[in-house]
Structure formats: C-alpha cells, structure tokens
Amino acid sequence: MSAWLRCISPLFSMLSVGIAIGLSVWVIVLKPEEAFVLLIPATLFVSAILIFENRSRGVARRAREGQQWLVRGAFLGGALVMLLGPGAKLAVISGLLDVWLVEPARQLGGVLSGAAFVVLGNFLPKLASPWRLTEEPFDWQGVHRFCGRVFMFAGTVVVWVWLAWPAEAASEAATVAFVSSAVLCVGRKFYSLATWRGSTPSS
C-alpha cells in the first residue's frame, strides 16, 4: 500500500463516524418520531467502526496495513450511501434540496454501494493473514476467496438493479443481495472453523 494512502486512511473512519453522527443528530432535530429508523443502523455502523479500530491495533503490522485502508474505505462508502439516502431526504425537509433530486441521489447511493461491494470483493482474496499458515484457526485464503467472489457477484447485481429497476424494487433486491452475501460468507467461515486442520483442510 502506498504511503499516502496509509496516511490518509484513518480519516476515512473519522469521516464515516462524523457523517453517521451528524445524520443522527439531524434526524432527531427534524423528525424525532422517525429517528429510530436511522439511529439503529447508524449506531450499529459507528459501533462496527470503533470495534474494528480497537481490534486492528493488535493485528500484525503486515496484515494491518493491508486491511485497514480497505475496511476504512468500505466504511466511508457506507457513510456516503447513508448521506445520499436518508441524508437526501433530510435535506429536502430542511429545504436544502429539491424533491426531484431525492430519487437520483438514492439511485446514485445504490449504485455506489454495489460498486463498493465489487471493489471489496476484488480485494478480499489479496488480504494478508494475521497468522502464520500453520496457526490459522480457519482457511483464511479459502474463505476470503469465496467471499470475494460472492461480494463481486452481489455488487454487480446491486448496480444492475439500481440502474434498471424502479427505486423501491431495486432497494428490496439490493437488501436481499447484501443479506444473502453476508449469510453465505458467515456460513462459509463457520464451516471452515469446523473443518480446518492446520495447513490442510479436512474436506
């Protein structure tokens, strides 16, 4: 990873947290009766960032440098999607944005989220393991290769539906794609945890 990217990547997390907190405060002020709709995912989002930043301190430097900028970039992508989705609606309520711009902003956010998944899927197999091969608790490379393919497929589907389908249908399809990819990857990791026997899997 280049030096400049390593230097600026901490800003990704800081900006992501700032966007999530800013949107949360904004929705509480403007639409307190509907605030929970944004506050729940925003809280989970910020918690995930804080947990990642805390745990990454104990990871070996080689793996840490390879992972941090990628995960932080994914967090920033998620924050931008929040900004273009709920953020656009709040901007309309505040009179900062015309109503007709909400759907294009939402579509752009959907396309960006799919593209982010494709990029993440492309880089997952390239992440260095924080363990030595003989000490890995699961098949690191195999799991990340599998999840990379799943993420790239899901991201491509999400980009396509947001470009080709009506907004509501695209939103539902994108949710199914994201949740399905997450379930598949979690399942693949648990399978690997149950079957991995050092440098050679049991299957």
Instruction: Examine the domain organization and report whether 93 and 4 are in the same domain.
Output: yes
Higher pLDDT residue, 63 or 87? 87
Dump pLDDT digits (tens) for 106-151. Answer: 899 899 889 988 988 888 888 777 777 778 888 988 999 999 999 9
The number of helix segments (H) and strand segments (E) in the chain equals: 7, 0
The total number of structural domains in the chain stands at: 2
- Note whether 51 and 114 are within 8 A (CB): no
- Tell me what pLDDT residue 3 has: 60
Q: Are residues 93 and 106 in the same domain?
A: no
> Is there a single domain that holds both residue 64 and residue 134?
no
Amino acid symbol at 62 = R
Do 76 and 4 belong together in one domain? Answer: yes
What range does the domain containing 133 cover? 99-203
Last residue of a domain, one of 60, 76, 97: 97
Query: Is 83 in the same domain as 116?
Result: no
Residues 22 and 119 in one domain: no
Residues 93 and 105 in one domain: no
Q: Which of 34, 62, 97 is the last residue of a domain?
A: 97
- 105 with 91, same domain? no
Distances (CA, A) of 88 to 29, 38, 74, 84, 200: 15, 13, 20, 5, 50
Same structural domain, 54 and 79? yes
Cβ neighbour number for residue 180 with a 10 Å cutoff: 14
Picking from 38-47, 55-64, 163-172, which range would have the lowest pLDDT averaged per residue?
Answer: 55-64
Q: Which residue, 82, 97, 112, sits at the end of a domain?
A: 97
Q: What is the mean pLDDT of residues 63-91?
A: 78
CA 137/CA 182 separation, integer angstroms: 20
Same domain membership, residue 153 and residue 200 = yes
Average pLDDT over residues 146-157: 95
Residues 93 and 103 in one domain: no
